[in-house]
Amino acid sequence: MILPHSVIRWGSSLLVGIPFVDHDHHEAVEMINRMAGADGAERLSLMRAFLGHCEEHFAREEEMMTRTGFFALDPHRQEHQRVLAEAQRVLTRLEMGSDETEYFREVLPQWFLEHRATMDYVTADFALEHGWHGEDQDPVKAAQ
């Protein structure tokens, strides 16, 4: 479903080929679109859930990078930490009553699209070429 304020349209062009990454990214896009169209208490509660989603997703990507010996683990992990710190600051401003609309309609969607197309894409490509062979190693499935 495309919401009136959708800022990212999910589609096959956003896939990276690792099931748990694509699953998490699809959820993230739905959350980003919902936050872009929400305001007030609804946006605040969605943002709290989104921060938790990001922490779990980043941990799964970092585990895959570690297990496949990814050459750019450190810069990728640092970028995750940077964006988490930024999101935490946005959450604090939301709690103080700011609407942060530019962040939700522009900064965050642009960051997601760029991060997926660069660091996540290269990470997934490397993992597939270095022994990451699918669902039996999938951190989402393994946790179930």
Q: Which residues bind Fe ion (CB under 5 A)?
A: 61, 120
Work out how close the CB of 73 gets to Fe ion at its nearest, in angstroms, rounded to a whole number. Answer: 11
CB of 62 to Fe ion, least distance (A): 8
Tell me the residue number closest to Fe ion, measured at CB. Answer: 120
Q: Which is nearer to Fe ion, 30 or 39 (CB)?
A: 30
Q: Measuring CA to CA, which residue among 20, 59, 24, 34 is closest to residue 140?
A: 20
Which token pair is 47? 């943002």
Q: How far is the CB of 24 from Fe ion (least distance, A)?
A: 6
Query: Measuring CA to CA, how many Å separate 31 from each of 74, 84, 118?
Result: 27, 15, 21
3-state secondary structure of 130: coil
